Amino acid sequence: MNSPEKIHQFLLKSVFKAALKRETKLINAVEKFTGNLRFDGEELIFTMPALFKFAIGYIQEESITQISDEQVEYLTFRKIVYQSGINLQLRSLQAAVVMESQHVNHDERWYRLVVLR
C-alpha cells in the first residue's frame, strides 16, 4: 500500500472513527493543531489542506509510520479522498462528510463530519 492510501485508511479508521467517538487523544491533538481543523460542538470541521497536514502529523504521533508531505503530494491525497467513496465507508458508522461552505477554490471549502440521525 502506498503512502496516500495509508493516509486515507488512517484518516478513516484513526481520525474519523475517533472523532465520532469523541476520543480524548484525538480531541487533544486537534486542539493543538494550528490550522483549519477543529471541533464545532461535537462535529469535526476542516478544509482539505488542513486535514492533510493534520493526518501527516497525527499518523507520525501515533507511530504508525513515518510519512512526510514530500512523500505524499497533497493533490494526490485530495484526489484519493474525493474518489474513495468515503461516505459509503462512513455510512456503516452512521456518519458522513458534508460540505459546510462552498468556494470556487477547493482548498478553501469547509467540510463537516456529521452523525446521520
Q: Which residue spans within 21-82 are E strands per DSSP?
A: 37-40, 43-47
Instruction: Please report the pLDDT score of residue 23 as a whole number.
Output: 94
Q: In what order do the strands lie in the sheet with 37-40?
A: 37-40, 43-47, 110-115, 95-101
Q: What is the pLDDT of residues 30-78, one digit of tens each?
A: 999 999 999 998 899 999 999 989 988 888 776 555 555 455 678 888 8
Q: Domains of the chain: which residue ranges?
A: 3-115
Q: What is the pLDDT of residues 6-16, one digit of tens each?
A: 777 888 888 99
Contact status, residue 56 vs residue 69, Cβ threshold 8 Å:
yes
Instruction: Please report the pLDDT score of residue 1 as a whole number.
Output: 47
- At 79, list the grid cell: 484526489
pTM to 2 decimal places: 0.85
55 three-class SS: helix
